[in-house]
Amino acid sequence: MIIIPEEKNFYAQVLDQVERTQNGKIIITKFLTLREQAIYKEIVKGKDVTLQFNGGYPFAERRKACLIPRDLNIDVDCKIECLKITYNQRFLDITHRNVLGSLMSLGLERSLFGDIVLGEKEVYIFVSREIVPVLYNEFTHINQVPIDLTPHYEEVLIEPKYDQKEIIISSMRIDNLISHVYNLSRDNAKKHIQEGLVYRNFLVCKDADEICQVGDIVSVRNFGRFKIGELLRTTKTGKLVVLILLPSA
C-alpha cells in the first residue's frame, strides 16, 4: 500500500493501536473514511487482531473500527447512536450538505459523525454517543429552520442515492475516466495521479494507464469520487458508453 505524506501520522497511529490490541487492549476508533478503513485492513493483515467495522446501519460508508484481540470472542459496543431529524418541509429543502454544515458549525470534529441518511420526510444521523447531549442542546436549526431531534431505535434500511452520468470514452484508463467525469484535460488528470491525489478502490493510484473495471470506486482529491456503474454499450466507432454514479449532494 502506498502511503502519501499527509497520511504518515495516521498510519503510525494505526500501527500503535494494532500493537496495543495485540497486547490485550480493545480499541474503538472514531468514524473513519473509506480510505482510512482501507489502511486499517492493510495493517491488521497477518496480525493477531480481529477487525470489525460498524457504522450503525447496513449501508454505512463512514464506520468505526473495532480492534479486538483474536483470542477474545465478544460483542463490542461501538457507542453509535442514531438520531432522527424532522422538520417543516415547507420551509426547508434539506440536503446532505446543509445538514453537515449545520453540524460542523457546532465546532465538533467530523470524525464524531457517521453517515447522514436522507429519508422521504426525515433525516437520520449516526453519531458517537459522547456528543448526543451536545446535539440535543445545540443542534436545533438547519439553515435557520427549527428541527426536532429524537432518538431512533429501528434499523435504517435506506440505500445510498447516486446521481447518474453517461460518458463516452475510448478506453477504461483511469486518467481517461477522470478527464471525462470532471471535465479536466487529460494532462491535468495525469498530474493529479502523479501527485498522489487519486485513489482507486481507496488505494493510491500512481499509473495513469491503469485500467478500471465496472464496480471500481475512484476518488480525486478536491473533486470527489465516483463509481463505475455499468458498461452500457459500444458505439459504432468502438467507443465505450459508461454509466458513472456520483454521490448525491
Beta strand spans in the chain (E)? 27-32, 49-54, 63-69, 80-87, 113-118, 122-128, 141-142, 145-151, 162-169, 198-200, 203-204, 217-220, 224-234, 240-247
> Could you tell me the CATH number of the domain that includes residue 178?
3.10.290.10
Q: Residue 249: is its pLDDT beyond 90?
A: no
Q: What is the mean pLDDT of residues 18-23?
A: 96
The whole-number pLDDT of residue 27 equals: 97
> Could you tell me the CATH number of the domain that includes residue 113?
3.30.70.330
Radius of gyration of the chain (CA): 20
pLDDT in tens, 70-82: 999 888 999 999 9
pLDDT tier at 177, thresholds 50, 70, 90: very high
Distance CA 181, CA 47 (A): 39
pLDDT in tens, 85-129: 999 888 778 888 899 999 999 999 999 999 999 998 999 999 999
For 178, the domain range is 162-247
Q: Is residue 86 part of a domain?
A: yes
Q: Residue 1: is its pLDDT beyond 80?
A: no
Query: Which grid coordinates belong to 75?
Result: 460483542
Q: Is residue 74 part of a domain?
A: no
